[in-house]
Amino acid sequence: LIPRVSVMVNCGLTADCTGLSIDPENGDLLQTRPAFGGNIMATIRCSNHRPQMATVRPRVMKAPEPDANRKGRIIKESILDTDLDKIKKIIEIFHSKDTAVNLADARIIISGGRGMKGPEGFQLLKQFAAMVGGAVGASRAAVDAGWIPYTHQVGQTGQTVQTTLYIACGISGQIQHLVGMQSCDMIVAIDKNPDTPMMQIADIAIVGDLFEIIPEIMNEIPRL
């Protein structure tokens, strides 16, 4: 729908944005999105044309609180048949057999990265997640290594999540991963290296051996 509208109003469109802001000097919409395979973040502007249009990646932005003082006006329009109705044809409708893990509905996600050292490490995370009623996520590095299926991947090429609690275990925090979870309410990172990007953005950063820290946390959970 949105690409069709942008063509009709003769303007560009930036898709899959992970950030939007307004330039206070000229009113340009600053549209930020991953580029070059997710290795950089590009900010795009449309300075010489209006309207400005962008689509946003699901769950990367938090919904604002409702403002009861603001009122809108409902304008009812009659939608007439268009030429598009004459040229489109539904050939088949079928149900998807996708068995992907729906991380988007999880309130708590325990995610592992290269620091899990192998598929055995993810068994520990599955036990941890089961204790807190959460789901298991993973970084692309862990998925590419074959330690856990792609259906668990969080990030630019995986799922975008916005959970109450996100615990990152042994994840360095490459930009491709951060764009998929940076809007979570609370981020806890566990890593030996205190200087990783994930440890820097975390609300709580725990420095140490995750194979010692996680069992200690699991031992304390029944006492809470």
Give 6-60 pLDDT, tens digit per residue: 888 888 899 988 889 999 998 899 999 888 766 678 899 988 888 999 999 877 7
The total number of structural domains that make up the chain: 2
What is the model's pLDDT at position 37? 67
Q: Are residues 42 and 119 in the same domain?
A: no
Tell me, yes or no, whether 79 lies in a domain: no
Q: Are residues 118 and 214 in the same domain?
A: yes
Q: Are residues 119 and 216 in the same domain?
A: yes
For 143-178, the pLDDT digits (tens) are 999 999 999 999 988 888 989 999 999 999 998 899
Band (pLDDT 50/70/90 cuts) for residue 85 is: low
Domain span including residue 32: 1-57
Tell me, yes or no, whether 51 lies in a domain: yes
What is the model's pLDDT at position 38? 66
Calculate the average pLDDT of the chain.
Answer: 88
Residue 55, helix vs strand vs coil: strand
What is the model's pLDDT at position 96? 59
What is the model's pLDDT at position 97? 56
Is the pLDDT reported for residue 99 higher than 60?
Answer: no
CA dihedral sign of residues 177, 179, 181, 182? positive
CATH number at residue 209: 3.40.50.1220
Tell me, yes or no, whether 13 lies in a domain: yes
Tell me, yes or no, whether 147 lies in a domain: yes
Mean pLDDT confidence for 175-192: 92
Helices (H), the chain: 2-8, 83-87, 119-132, 140-144, 175-178, 197-201, 210-220
Residue 111 forms beta bridges with which residues? 137, 168
Q: Are residues 46 and 107 in the same domain?
A: no
More confident residue, 5 or 189: 189
Mean pLDDT confidence for 121-147: 94
Tell me, yes or no, whether 75 lies in a domain: no
Assess contact for 189 and 199: CB atoms under 8 A. yes
What is the model's pLDDT at position 195? 95
pTM of the model: 0.69
Residues 6+ apart with CB under 8 A from 123: none
What is the model's pLDDT at position 170? 96
Tell me, yes or no, whether 76 lies in a domain: no
Q: Are residues 110 and 219 in the same domain?
A: yes
Is the pLDDT reported for residue 108 higher than 90?
Answer: yes
Band (pLDDT 50/70/90 cuts) for residue 224 is: confident
Tell me, yes or no, whether 203 lies in a domain: yes
Assess contact for 148 and 120: CB atoms under 8 A. no
Q: Are residues 48 and 112 in the same domain?
A: no
Tell me, yes or no, whether 89 lies in a domain: no
